[in-house]
Amino acid sequence: MKLVTYLASTGPRLGALVDGQVVDLPQAAQGDLPAAMAEFLALGEEGLGAARRAVESAPASAVVGPVEGVKLLAPVPAPSKVIAVGLNYRDHCDEVGMAYPKSPVLFAKFPSAVIGPGDEIRWDPALTRQVDYEAELAVVIGRRARRVSVEEAMAYVGGYTACNDVSARDLQFADQQWVRGKSLDTFCPLGPVLVTPDEIPDPHNLAIKCELNGVVMQDSRTSELLFGVPELVAFCSRAFTLLPGDVIVTGTPPGVGMARSPQVFLKHGDTVTVEVEGIGRLTNRCVEEQ
């Protein structure tokens, strides 16, 4: 299924994208499903089964309308944590001249950085002037996970979405650690949908791109990942508990602005789009705050 969180008059609501239409899942299920994505994911296969049945018999009143006319939020608007992975594409390590890591390199993006499709990436030019894009596949956790093995890790995946790991490079390298430069407000666009694992049987063979003002800047495949989804879920869960709705951002391919000659950084008025095969296009406009 393709799941969304959309903005209703009462607040964020869980929906399904069906033939270009957004269907309100709690309404279609006559109140038997929660309105929040994380709570829905925690229901596992039982929840997915209920959602599929609800969509098949959804009354007209549960159809919100064409997706183009619906305000989509990040699929998980408020995850308890966003865990990002650095240097996880072979071809990206090659472009920046870094050795392949022997284990995943983790850093945090604060949940307050999360925005949805169509929202603005905003920054204060007095704080940073080197804002970069990073197209990434994001894994959304579906079940509480603690010390899970690589072999069982995929059973804890609730779905996949696209992420733009927006990065203030001057802050990132001045601080000599990455959290501040990666966690400014609006620096974690997610969306447009959450795709359940049955629709993406192999997350390690997906096309992934980033376009800046319509020009392709990144173009690779997730087959270049050094550490795949099972390894990342297991590695993270050995250190801390993963909760339903938590996001693991799996790394970016080559073509980032800082590695180009000359360097390319985001500017006021730019439009940046991350596209992941099977998930869709996540587009955001850039705004320098005055």
Asked if residue 117 is part of any domain, the answer here is: yes
Domain boundary, last residue among 69, 97, 121: 69
What's the domain range around 173?
82-288
Does 265 share its domain with 214?
yes
Copy the structure tokens of residue 65: 């309308």
Per-residue pLDDT for 88 more than 90? yes
Domain boundary, last residue among 19, 47, 69: 69
CATH number of the domain where residue 212 is located:
3.90.850.10
Average model confidence (pLDDT) across the chain: 97
Quick one: average pLDDT of 126-143?
98
Per-residue pLDDT for 98 more than 90? no
Quick one: average pLDDT of 238-252?
98
Per-residue pLDDT for 148 more than 90? yes
CA-to-CA dists, residue 127 to 79, 123, 130, 181, 275, angstroms: 26, 8, 10, 10, 29
Quick one: average pLDDT of 253-261?
95
In the chain, the number of structural domains is 2
CA-to-CA dists, residue 190 to 15, 164, 169, 174, 239, angstroms: 16, 7, 20, 26, 24
Rounded to two decimals, what is the model's pTM? 0.97
What is the per-residue pLDDT for 244? 98
Does 52 share its domain with 88?
no
Helix (H) or strand (E) run with residue 108 in it:
strand 105-109
Quick one: average pLDDT of 130-140?
98
What is the per-residue pLDDT for 290? 80
Residues near 61 by Cβ (< 8 Å), separated by ≥ 6? 27
Does 51 share its domain with 155?
no
